[in-house]
Amino acid sequence: MGSISPLSVPIAPPSPSVRQAIPKPIADRNVQNVVLGDILFKTWYPSFYPEELVGRDLERLYVCQRCFKYSKELMPFLAHVKSCTSQDLSLPGKKIYSGDSHTIYEVDGEENQLFTQNLSLFAKLFLDNKSVFYDVASFNYYLLVHTPSSTNGHPQLHPQIVGFFSKEKMSWDNNNLACILVFPPWQRKGFGKILMGISYELSKREGRVGGPEKPLSELGRRGYIRFWEARVANAVLGTKAKTTLTVGEIADRCWILPEDVIVALKETGGLLAKKKADGSAVVNKAKIRDWVKARGIDLTPPVSEDLFLEPREPEDVQDDGS
């Protein structure tokens, strides 16, 4: 196992593009800044770290970028990082998806309680409206691991967990995602779309139309609207010419809830005021095509079904929950 000295170089601040996306931190945070590996960045919200371990107003918390164990002291942190058994990226759970530069691991919260609790505590530093951190047994966690490619003669960097989403094992509301976070240094790089895409592909594999748990944060809502817009536009423009589509038909094609389809169509201007005889809404493909062209929207799906490591099960008759 190679040794790692994450603080042997100056700690890098977030890039300007990341700083623009950061909400204004609230005043009563119990941790002001966090060091993840070798990157220092400001927290946004308080988390539920034990007061006896981190205090009430800690200037800097050190967090292992592999297992998310934490320390308020530098030397214990360095000792842990050097010996952490996760440094070879033998992550808990199983790999379910593998792309060129990113992979997805599925981690069972019940089987990996310490890891998922520590991950959740870290995530709460950047999430305002989530509070489940110790009751992790009823959730699966999907880790996005990014491996940067080598550039300009520099060697390839180590794989890095850059975000995740959690999902209830049994959701009576058909939520395909409970909380989602791309860590601040890696935001605005398309990783959120990958996580959202994975959540919908999992819904598709389960044969259930679903969506994220609501209400969404303002940041999350903006991200989801962009995702829904592209997914709906791709479905609509991929149909044959002169085909009339309803909101329900688009929802079935995209595995997106009808109310979320309507949000996307309103944003693109593709929802017609008139309705069919049965009362269902009608979609204007030409307006959606113009919207895509005017904004230069990339309709390439962020996730490919072919990159899942296990084939999709044959479709059964969809359970309507009745």
Known catalytic residues are: 213
In whole angstroms, what separates CA 242 from the centre of its chain?
36
Which residues lie closer than 8 Å to 266 by C-beta, 6 or more apart? none
Q: What is the side-by-side strand order in the sheet with 94-98?
A: 94-98, 102-108, 139-146, 160-168, 179-182
- Round to whole Å and give the CA distance between 7 and 155: 19
* Sequence-ordered alpha helix ranges (H) in the chain: 16-21, 51-54, 74-83, 113-124, 191-206, 218-237, 247-254, 258-268, 285-295
SS3 164: strand
Element spanning 175, H or E: strand 175-177
- DSSP codes of every residue in 70-107: EESSHHHHHHHHHH-GGGG---SSEEEEE-SSEEEEEE
CA distances (Å), origin 17, targets 13, 22, 188, 285, 312 = 11, 9, 8, 34, 38
- Let me know: does 63 contact 34? Beta carbons within 8 Å: yes
